[in-house]
Amino acid sequence: MIGQQTSIVATCFGGAGDREFDAYGGMVDPTLPGVALPFHFHVNPLPQVRVICGDKSVVCAIVDVGPHSINDPYWLTAARPQAERATGNKAGIDLTPAVFAALGIGPTDPAFGLTKVSWEFV
């Protein structure tokens, strides 16, 4: 099994005012724990991901492709996300608002929408 990815910048997507179609044929639901990883998985069912921040974790569905790339499976080679070497927010994973909430990061918390997490496939 692929190991845990650590200290990955996470951004928020799919929240209020950010309604979007996902890469797997649906809509991103901000009320459900979901992530986007920069690779389009071609398996059914899609793997699940555990996102960890401090002493809290939440198991999430992969619901979209991104951020920043559609072909950066950095976890397969123990590399860091390509986005870390580019301009912008350096995010290697996107989280729905429900994931931030499950991790105890509310909308008024300075870490909401941009924080570092660890994650692993479950």
Residue 100 maps to which CATH number? Answer: 2.40.40.10
Q: Each residue of 29-41: pLDDT tens digit?
A: 999 999 999 999 9
The answer for residues whose C-beta is within 8 angstroms of residue 1's C-beta and 6 or more apart is 121
Query: Given this model, what pLDDT does residue 120 score?
Result: 98
pLDDT 10s digits, 48-97: 999 999 999 999 999 999 999 999 999 999 999 999 999 999 999 999 99
* Residue 1: per-residue pLDDT: 53
| Cβ-based neighbours of 7, under 8 Å, separated by 6 or more | 116, 118
Domain count, the chain: 1
| pTM recorded for the entire structure | 0.95
Contacts of residue 84, defined as CB under 8 A and 6 or more positions apart, other chains included, come to 9, 90, 92
pLDDT of residue 89: 94
The CA-to-CA distance between both ends of the chain, in Å, stands at 9
- Give the separation between CA 35 and CA 104, rounded to whole angstroms: 16
* Structural domain boundaries, residue 17: 5-121
In this predicted structure, what is the pLDDT of residue 16? 73
Q: At 37, list the tokens.
A: 């990883």
What is residue 60's predicted lDDT score, i.e. its pLDDT? 98
Residue 20, pLDDT > 80, answer no
pLDDT at residue 19 is higher than 80: no
